[in-house]
Amino acid sequence: MLGFPVVAVGDHVPGAKVTIAVGEPFARKALLEKVAGLGLVLQSIFSPDAFISEYAEIADGVIVAPHVSIQATAKIGRNVAVNTASILGHDVVVEENCVVSSMVNLGGGTRVGMLSYLGMGALVKERVQIGHSSIVGMGSVVHIDIPDEVIALGNPARVVRRNEDKKVFK
């Protein structure tokens, strides 16, 4: 226990520091907008067990869980959650409001578009692009670019349908 209080957004003091701990990209975005409107300050949290290269760029409101590795010149956007034991290779870009589940491996130069969700254990080949608002399913192996607003599953990952409702969990 780190000793940080868990509060509802309505229980605020302007200027207080908050971190959004929600695993749905569109819910993270909605809460971010609410937090900004209330005058709260978005705070990043880094596990002491994580490795973050001194050459990585991490924006505000990012959560980095234990045993995560973020390599040189990676860029992690605002309000991103990077969960336990994930590896983000060199030159990776993860745009704002994304969720990187546990044990995800992003090869060097990978780009993940805003509001995307990468399921637990997903593997993404180097220099592949994941479109915005897309979901890559648990255990999927991504060899080619994934378009915007789709759900991709399998090995190799294939688009199965449009991401119409923008929810990961039903």
List, in sequence order, every residue forming a beta bridge with 161; answer none if it has no partner. 151
Residue 90 annotated among the catalytic residues of the structure: yes
Cis peptide before 156 (omega within 30 of 0): yes
Note whether 159 and 141 are within 8 A (CB). no
Structure tokens at 85: 């034991």
d(CA 143, CA 100): 17
d(CA 142, CA 111): 12
Among 116, 111, 91, 79, smallest CA distance to 101 is for 116
Active-site residue, from 12, 67, 90, 132:
90
Among 127, 68, 72, smallest CA distance to 100 is for 68
Q: Please give the positions annotated as active site.
A: 90
